[in-house]
């Protein structure tokens, strides 16, 4: 199941209150049925806010790939989406096995996806390259035995 | 030449598994692929998608890419939960007994001649 919570953070700049919209989602391990719901929900929020379709598509693709990686490789985790006036920041964090060689993992075609995932059409080794292509900023913090945190930023203009 | 979703469904004699949600949306070409992240990267606006995959993720990928028509080849069908998801997301899914190569060839013929 997908659970989402909305929190508001308030910061004040020059007396004007800016409240970035923050949403959190739970990503469950090996739950291919609900995988993608967090990205789909983010996509709907951005389109309600009037963000350009091309930008929304890039953010949704990047988030979906990271979400699926957390499902398949990362034993599940959390997604947090923060919408600022000029950009969206998406963090996908898991406490899975981590990525031993990140440079290798970023190579198009490299994959350790298990058969069960391959049968469903995953495992082309294109997820991370897709994420990189679609984000304006990408940061991957990963440690073997501890987990992986993917921070993606997509600017609206 | 481009053709509408409903014209393609009738010209290719596709079997509609869900409903036709955007009958008038125009299709310029097809994209064939069974690796989801390749499809994520390459499926463009104005393309229908040919695949033999039928998992829930097919609907997620079609929906994220706003694909107006998904064509399952080789008589692939949808399980009930996937069907429900497709209807919820308003993704038109059809199937055909043709394999992907033949189905693409038929579509190309239709697009080339402009005949329905
Ligand atoms: N969150 C993660 N935790 C652990 N390993 C990961 C994680 N994300 C990616 N990896 C590793 O990096 C590899 C490449 O990831 P990438 O998303 O590019 O391809 P894939 O998931 O294997 O296939 P595809 O995304 O094309 O379906 C994975 O096969 C896996 O070994
Ligand atoms: Mg992947």
Question: What CATH number does the domain containing A65 carry?
Answer: 3.30.565.10
Min distance A94 CA to chain B CA atoms (Å): 20
DSSP lists the bridge partners of residue A21 as: A8, A83
Using one digit for the tens of pLDDT, what is the confidence trace for A107-128? 999 999 999 999 999 999 999 9
The architecture that CATH gives domain B3-113 is 3-Layer(aba) Sandwich (3.40)
CA of residue A89 relative to chain centroid, distance: 9
On chain B, the residues whose CB falls within 8 A of the CB of A107 are none
B112 touches A: beta carbon within 8 Å = no
Using one digit for the tens of pLDDT, what is the confidence trace for A78-100? 999 999 999 999 999 999 999 99
Q: What is the mean pLDDT of residues B24-45?
A: 96
Which ligand lies nearest the alpha carbon of A150?
A: 1
- CA end-to-end distance (rounded Å), chain A: 34
Q: What is the mean pLDDT of residues B23-29?
A: 97
**pLDDT class of A20 with cuts at 50, 70, 90:** confident
**pLDDT class of B69 with cuts at 50, 70, 90:** very high
C-alpha A69 to ligand 2 mean position (Å): 5
CA distances from A49 to A9, A53, A156 (A): 18, 11, 11
CB contact residues (below 8 A), chain A span 93-152, against chain B: 120-127, 129-130, 133
- Ranking A3-7, A19-23, B17-21, B104-108 by mean pLDDT, the lowest is A3-7
Give the C-alpha separation, A10 to A20, whole Å: 7
B44 touches A: beta carbon within 8 Å = no
> Does pTM surpass 0.95?
no
C-alpha A41 to ligand 1 mean position (Å): 23
In this structure, the residues whose C-beta lies within 6 A of any atom of ligand 1 are A 65, 69-70, 72-74, 94, 96-97, 99, 105, 110-113, 122-128, 148; B 36-37
Q: What confidence score (pLDDT) does residue A6 get?
A: 43
Q: What confidence score (pLDDT) does residue A2 get?
A: 40
C-alpha A142 to ligand 2 mean position (Å): 15
C-alpha A68 to ligand 2 mean position (Å): 6
Number of domains in chain A: 1
- When the pLDDT of each residue in chain B is averaged and rounded to a whole number, the result is 95
- Ranking A4-8, A68-72, A135-139 by mean pLDDT, the lowest is A4-8
Contact B37 A60 (CB under 8 A): no
- When the pLDDT of each residue in chain A is averaged and rounded to a whole number, the result is 89
Picking from B98, B44, B61, B60, the residue whose alpha carbon sits closest to that of residue B76 is B98
Is the pLDDT confidence value at A13 over 70? no
Domain around A36? 4-13+21-155
On chain B, the residues whose CB falls within 8 A of the CB of A61 are 40-41, 64
In the structure encoding, which two tokens stand for residue A66, read together? 């990271």
**pLDDT class of B62 with cuts at 50, 70, 90:** very high
On chain B, the residues whose CB falls within 8 A of the CB of A133 are 41
Element at A24 (helix H, strand E): strand A21-28
């Amino acid at each position: 199941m997908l659970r989402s919570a909305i929190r508001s953070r308030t910061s004040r700049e020059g007396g004007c209150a800016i409240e970035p919209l923050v949403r959190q989602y739970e990503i469950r391990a090996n739950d291919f049925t609900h995988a993608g719901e967090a990205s789909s929900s983010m996509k709907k929020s951005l389109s309600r806010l009037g963000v350009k379709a091309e930008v929304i598509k890039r953010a949704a693709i990047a988030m979906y790939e990271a979400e699926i990686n957390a499902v398949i490789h990362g034993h599940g985790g959390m997604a947090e989406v923060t919408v600022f006036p000029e950009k969206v920041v998406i963090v996908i964090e898991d406490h899975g096995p981590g990525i031993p060689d990140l440079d290798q993992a970023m190579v198009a075609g490299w994959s350790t996806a298990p058969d069960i995932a391959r049968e469903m059409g995953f495992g082309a080794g294109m997820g991370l390259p897709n994420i990189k292509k679609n984000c304006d900023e990408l940061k991957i913090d990963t440690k073997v035995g501890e987990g992986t945190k993917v921070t993606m930023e997509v600017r609206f203009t | 030449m481009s053709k509408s979703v409903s014209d393609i469904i009738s010209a290719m004699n596709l079997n509609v598994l869900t409903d036709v949600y955007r009958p008038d949306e125009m299709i310029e070409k097809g994209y064939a692929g069974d690796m989801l992240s390749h499809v994520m990267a390459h499926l463009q606006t104005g393309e229908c998608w040919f695949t033999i995959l039928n998992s829930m993720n097919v609907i997620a990928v079609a929906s994220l890419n706003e694909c107006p028509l998904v064509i399952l080849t080789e008589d692939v069908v949808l399980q009930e939960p996937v069907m429900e998801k497709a209807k919820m997301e308003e993704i038109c899914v059809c199937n055909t007994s043709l394999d992907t190569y033949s189905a693409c060839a038929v579509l190309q013929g239709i697009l080339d001649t402009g005949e329905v």
